[in-house]
Amino acid sequence: MNKAQRLLLNTVIKSPIIPSSFRVKALKSCGLKIGKNVRIQSDGFYDTSNMSIGDNVFINRFVKFFDSNRNERIEIGNNVMIAMGVTFCTVSHQIGDSNRRGVGTISYPIVIDNGAWIGANATILPGITIAKGCVIAAGAVVTKSTEPNGLYAGVPAKRIKEL
């Protein structure tokens, strides 16, 4: 994503007065693949152009997508609901010695499978796959990929219920 696209996505279209349909068109013009019947609310942050969003997806306000030009994919399937304040982060750091613990960046893709629901202020870390039909509870930090049709909650997120 170039600087002009980043400016468009993270200043102009984030305004609540911009309709969702215009926001979707602007995201498509910046290289994101977006399906049918997608609603994207205002105040999001986009630091990726390697992203796909399936059909019938709802993305609420204040959702953040971080890739930092590492070109890792963020893939959101069909019929996914994403609540406000969710963070998707494909990038982290390797652990160094005691002089500097955070060294060298690493990155891995994130996949959200069909029918998932990500609760408010959840954080999805690099390399995670949220399996089909999962619910991620509000505030959860997902550090490991999930199994289908489960409710995951906590920090780190753990499966607490079969759905």
**CB-count exposure of residue 89 (10 Å: 0-12, 13-18, 19+):** buried
127 a catalytic residue: no
Question: Are the CB atoms for 151 and 135 separated by under 8 Å?
Answer: yes
- Identify the DSSP state of 147: P
Question: Terminus-to-terminus CA distance in the chain, angstroms?
Answer: 38
Q: Which of 25, 33, 93, 161 is catalytic?
A: 93
Strand 158-162 versus strand 150-153 pairing type: antiparallel
Q: Would you give the distance in Å from CA 60 to the centre of its chain?
A: 11
Q: List, by residue number, the catalytic residues.
A: 93
